Chain A
Amino acid sequence: MKHVGVDIGSTTVKVVVLDQQYHILYKYYARHYSKVRTETLEVMKQIRSLLQNEPFTIAITGSAGLGTAKHTGIEFVQEVFATRIAVEHFIPTADVVIELGGEDAKIIFLTGGSEERMNGTCAGGTGAFIDQMATLMNMSVPELDKLSFSHKKIYTIASRCGVFAKSDIQPLLNQGAQKADIAASIYQAVVDQTITGLAQGRRIEGTVAFLGGPLTFLKGLQDRFRESLDLQENAIFPEDAQYFIAIGAAMHSVNSTATSYDDVLRRLTDAAHAKTTIETLPPLFSNKEEYEAFLHAHRTDDVQYCDIATYEGGAYLGIDAGSTTTKMVLITEDYKILHSYYALNAGEPIPIVLEQLKQIYALCGDRIRIRGSAVTGYGEDLIKNAFQIDTGLVETMAHFRAAKYFNPDVDFIIDIGGQDMKCFKIRNDVIDSIVLNEACSSGCGSFIETFAKALGYDIREFTALALRSTHPVNLGSRCTVFMNSSVKQAQKDGASIEDISAGLAISVIKNALYKVIRANSADDIGKNIVVQGGTFLNDAILRSFELEVGRTVTRPSIAGLMGAYGCALVAMDQQKETSSLLPLSQLESFTHTSKATTCTACTNRCKLTINTFEGGHKFISGNRCERPLGKSQKRAVPNMYEFKLNYLTSLTPKEGRFGKIGIPFALNMYENLPFYHAFLTALGFEVVLSDVSTREIYQLGQHTIPSDTVCYPAKLIHGHIENLLEKDLTVIFYPCMPYNYDEKKGDNHYNCPIVAYYPELLHANITSLSEVSYYHPYLSPHDRRAFEKQAFAFFSEHYPITKKEIRAATSAAYSAYDAYKNAIYDFGYKTIKYAEANDLDIIVLAGRPYHVDPEVHHGIDKLITSLSLAVISEDALSPVIGKQPSTVVNQWTYHSRLYAAARYIADKEHMHMIQLVSFGCGLDAVTTDEVRSILEGEGKIYTQIKIDEINNLGAARIRIRSLLAAIDQLKERKAK
Chain B
Amino acid sequence: MATLQYDKTGRLLFTKEMKNEYTLLMPMMLPIHFGFFEEIFRLHGYNAVILDTTGQDIIDEGLRSVHNDFCYPALLTTGQLLHALKSGEYDMNKTALVMSQTGGGCRASNYIHIIRKALKNQNLEHVPVISFNLVGMEKNPGFKMTPKIIAQLTYAVIYGDLLMWISNQTRPYEKNSGDTDRLLESWMRAIKREIQKSTSFLPKAANEKFIQIVRDFHAIERTTQDKIKVGIVGEIYIKYAALGNNNLEEFLHNEDVEVVMPPLLDFALYSLNNVLVDYRIYHKGYIKTTVVKWIFRFIYALQDKVNSAIANYSDFRPMQSFERIKELVKGYVDTGNKMGEGWLLTAEMLELIDAGIDNIICTQPFGCLPNHIVGKGMIRRIKQNHPESNIVAIDFDPGATKINQENRIKLMLATARRNMQSTSCRIPALETGKQTV
A-side interface residues toward B, CB under 8 Å? 63-64, 66, 77-81, 104, 113, 115-116, 118, 120-121, 200-202, 279, 474, 476-479, 482-483, 485-486, 488-489, 492, 510, 514-515, 518-521, 524, 706-707, 709-710, 714, 736, 738-739, 748, 750-754, 756-758, 760-761, 764-765, 778, 780, 783, 785-786, 789-790, 885, 887-889, 891-892, 920, 922-926, 928-929
Complex: A892 Cα to B368 Cα, angstroms: 17
Q: How far is the CA of A888 from the CA of B109 in the complex (A)?
A: 9
Q: Which of B142-150, B152-160, B167-175, B380-388 contacts A (4 or more CB under 8 A)?
A: B380-388
B424 at interface, CB cutoff 8 A: no
**A761 surroundings in chain B (CB, below 8 A):** 372-373, 377-378
Given contacts A113-B387, A764-B380, contact A785 B373 (CB under 8 A): no
A-B contact pairs, 27 of them (CB 8 A): A80-B411, A116-B411, A120-B393, A477-B63, A482-B401, A485-B403, A486-B399, A514-B68, A515-B68, A520-B64, A520-B118, A706-B376, A736-B337, A738-B337, A748-B105, A752-B369, A761-B372, A778-B334, A780-B282, A783-B282, A783-B284, A885-B9, A887-B117, A891-B109, A922-B107, A924-B69, A926-B107
In the complex, which residues of chain A have a beta carbon less than 8 angstroms from the beta carbon of B397? 121, 478
Pair A922/B340 contact, Cβ less than 8 Å: no
What sequence of 0s and 1s flags, for each residue 119-159 of chain B, a beta carbon within 8 Å of any chain A beta carbon?
00110000000000000000000000000000000000000
Nearest CB of chain A from residue B267's CB, rounded to whole Å: 17
A786 to B67, CA, bound (A): 38
Interface string of B400-436 (1 = CB under 8 A from A): 1111101110110111001000000000000000000
List chain A residues, Cβ under 8 A from B393. 120
Q: Nearest-CB distance from A306 to chain B (Å)?
A: 45
Expressed in whole angstroms, the Cα–Cα distance for A309 and B113 within the complex equals 64
Taking the closest CB of chain A, its distance from the CB of B261, in whole angstroms, is 24
- The distance in angstroms between the C-alpha atoms of A81 and B416, with both chains bound, is 11
Contact between A756 and B379 (Cβ–Cβ < 8 Å)? no
A922 touches B367 (CB 8 A): yes
Q: Which residues of chain A are within 8 angstroms of B109 by Cβ–Cβ distance?
A: 889, 891
A756 touches B395 (CB 8 A): no
Evaluate contact between B378 and A764: CB separation under 8 angstroms. yes
| Selected contact of B121 from candidates A474, A524, A738, A889, CB within 8 Å | A524
Q: Closest CB of chain A to B402's CB: distance in Å?
A: 7
In this complex, the member of B69, B368, B395, B411 whose beta carbon has the largest number of chain A beta carbons within 10 angstroms is: B69
Q: A80-B411, A482-B399, A786-B284 are in contact. List 18 more A-B contacts (CB 8 A).
A: A63-B403, A78-B414, A81-B414, A81-B415, A116-B415, A478-B400, A510-B63, A520-B65, A524-B121, A738-B336, A750-B105, A753-B372, A757-B374, A760-B373, A764-B377, A889-B113, A922-B368, A926-B110
- Known A121-B400, A492-B403; judge A887-B105 contact (CB<8 A): no
A757 x B398 contact (CB < 8 A) = no
- Specify which of A104, A482, A765, A926 is in contact with B381 (CB 8 Å cutoff): A765
Which residue in chain A gives the minimum CB-CB distance to B111? Answer: A889
Q: Does B296 contact A (CB under 8 A)?
A: no
CA–CA, A889 and B109, complex, Å: 7
Q: What residues of chain A lie closer than 8 Å to B281, measured between beta carbons?
A: 778, 780, 786, 790
State the CA gap A156–B379 with chains docked (Å): 29
Of B65, B106, B283, which contacts A789 at CB under 8 A? Answer: B283
**Binary flags per residue of B77-119, CB closer than 8 Å to A gives 1, else 0:** 0000000000000000000000000010111011001001110
Closest chain B residue to A112, Cβ basis: B387
Q: 10 closest pairs, A vs B, by CB? A: A478-B399, A925-B69, A750-B105, A81-B414, A761-B377, A764-B381, A482-B399, A707-B376, A476-B399, A753-B369
Which residues of chain B in 338-385 are interfacial with respect to chain A, using CB atoms and an 8 Å cutoff? Answer: 338-340, 366-374, 376-381, 383
Tell me the smallest distance from the CB of A369 to a CB of chain B, in Å: 51
Q: Do A63 and B407 touch (CB < 8 A)?
A: yes
Query: With the chains together, A758 CA to B406 CA distance in Å?
Result: 30
Nearest chain A CB to B358 CB, angstrom units: 13
Fill in one digit per residue for B37-50: 1 if any A CB lies within 8 Å of its CB, else 0. 00000000000000
Please determine whether B105 and A752 come into contact, CB atoms closer than 8 angstroms: yes
CB atoms of B407 and A78 under 8 A apart: yes
Q: Which single member of A482, A751, A760 contacts B337 (CB below 8 Å)?
A: A760
B407 touches A476 (CB 8 A): no
> Contact between B117 and A929 (Cβ–Cβ < 8 Å)?
yes
- With a cutoff of 8 Å between Cβ atoms, the chain B residues found around residue A736 in the complex are 334, 336-337
Q: Is B25 close to A, CB under 8 A?
A: no
| Contact A753:B340 (CB < 8 A) given known A201-B380, A706-B377, A765-B381 | yes
Q: How many residues of chain B have a CB within 8 Å of chain A? A: 70
B332 within 8 A of A: yes
Cα distance, A750 to B340, chains bound together (Å): 13
Residue of B nearest to A924 (CB): B69
A residues less than 8 Å from B337 (CB atoms): 736, 738, 756-757, 760
B379: chain A residues at CB < 8 Å are 706
Which partner residue on chain B sits nearest A777 by CB separation?
B334
Pick from A120, A521, A710: contact of B122, CB below 8 A.
A521
The answer for the CA separation of A212 and B64 in the assembled complex, in Å, is 40
Question: With a CB–CB cut-off of 8 A, which chain A residues contact B121?
Answer: 520-521, 524
A760 touches B369 (CB 8 A): no
B333 interfacial by beta-carbon distance below 8 Å: yes
> Given the known A-B contacts A81-B411, A757-B337, A780-B282, are A887 and B113 also in contact in the complex, defined by CB atoms under 8 Å?
yes
Residues from chain A with Cβ under 8 Å of B68 in the complex: 514-515, 518
Identify the closest chain B residue to A763 (Cβ). Answer: B381
Tell me the minimal C-beta distance from B334 to chain A in angstroms: 6
Residues B283 and A121 in contact, CB atoms below 8 Å apart? no
Is A757 a contact partner of B333 (Cβ separation < 8 A)?
A: yes
> How far is A150 from B403 in the complex, measured between Cα atoms in Å?
40
Q: How far is the CB of A928 from chain B (nearest CB, A)?
A: 8
Annotate B165-204 by CB proximity to A: 1 below 8 A, 0 otherwise: 0000000000000000000000000000000000000000
Closest chain A residue to B396, Cβ basis: A121
Checking B67, B105, B402 against A891 with a beta-carbon cut-off of 8 angstroms, the contacting residue is B105
Residues of B within 8 Å of A926, CB to CB, are: 67, 70, 107, 110
B3 within 8 A of A: no
When the two chains form their complex, are residues B395 and A120 in contact, meaning their CB atoms are under 8 A apart?
Answer: yes
| B56: interface (CB < 8 Å) | yes
Q: How far is the CA of A773 from the CA of B71 in the complex (A)?
A: 36
CA separation between A23 and B368, bound complex, in Å? Answer: 48
Complexed CA–CA distance, A789 and B398 (Å): 46
Asked if B105 and A486 sit within 8 Å, CB to CB, the answer is: no
Contacts of A789 in B (CB 8 A): 283
Query: How far is B57's CA from A474's CA once the two chains are assembled, in angstroms?
Result: 12
User: Across the interface, which residues of B come within 8 angstroms of A891, CB to CB?
Assistant: 103, 105, 109
Contact partners of A778 in chain B: CB under 8 A: 281, 334, 336
Nearest CB on B from A490, distance (A): 10
Pairwise interchain contact A758-B373, C-beta atoms closer than 8 A: yes
CB distance from A812 to the nearest CB of B (A): 22
**In the complex, A599→B339 CA distance in Å?**
44
* Pick from A118, A483, A518, A889: contact of B67, CB under 8 Å: A518
Which residues of chain A are near B107, meaning CB under 8 Å?
922-923, 925-926
**Cβ 8 A contact of B339, one of A492, A510, A757, A785:** A757
- For residue A70, give the distance in angstroms from its CB to the closest CB of chain B: 10
A493 nearest in chain B by CB position: B403
CB neighbours of B377 from chain A (8 A): 706-707, 760-761, 764-765
Assembled-state Cα–Cα distance A752/B369 (Å): 8
User: What's the Cα separation between A120 and B368 when bound, in Å?
Assistant: 14
Q: Which residue of B lies closest to A926 (CB)?
A: B110
Q: Which residue of B lies closest to A714 (CB)?
A: B372
Bound CA–CA A783/B69 (angstroms): 33
Within the complex, the shortest CB–CB distance from B119 to chain A, in Å, comes to 11
CB-CB under 8 A for A786 and B398, given A520-B65, A756-B339, A764-B332: no
Q: Is the CB of A786 within 8 A of B282?
A: yes
CA distance A114 to B334 in the complex (A): 29
What residues of chain B lie closer than 8 Å to A478, measured between beta carbons? 397-400
**A543 CB to closest chain B CB, in angstroms?**
19
List chain A residues, Cβ under 8 A from B370.
753, 757
Contact A920 B339 (CB under 8 A): no
A483 to B116, CA, bound (A): 31
